[in-house]
Amino acid sequence: MTRVFLRLSVGALGLAAAFATPPALGQQGGRAPARPGPDKAADRRGGPPVIGCPSLANYRMLMHDGAPAASARLADPKADHLGCTVLPRGDVTGIADRVSLGGRSYDCASLRNTTACHWVEAGAVDRPGPAGR
């Protein structure tokens, strides 16, 4: 159920960003309309982006009120994002660590462009996990 809300929230976040800055009156676009194609936010393995944080404590605080509230908070440029961000699934290379805390499980996703992993809900990304766990 949480994944459905997350997918809807991330979709709404994308729509809000697309319509946030309308073109000025009289301004002509220099390009032809884009052809409908695959969603660029979803990587070739499928799936929408996920919310991740370098700190598990910050991730738990952000997600306390659910994925829709977390997406709304991340969409607000004036809000404190607690270091969290929306991660494209294509940037996730694997699972560096796993932990269970308070009856919930979390994965720390390794990212392509950084050495710091980002905490996500367990099972949110389907990449290989750490050996021996």
**Given CA atoms 96, 99, 82, 65 in this order, what sign does their dihedral have?**
positive
3-state SS, residue 108? strand
pTM: 0.62
Share of the chain above pLDDT 90, in %: 50
Strand-pair partners of 74: none
What digits encode the pLDDT tens for the residues 33-53? 444 444 444 445 557 889 999
Residue 3's identity, in one-letter code, is R
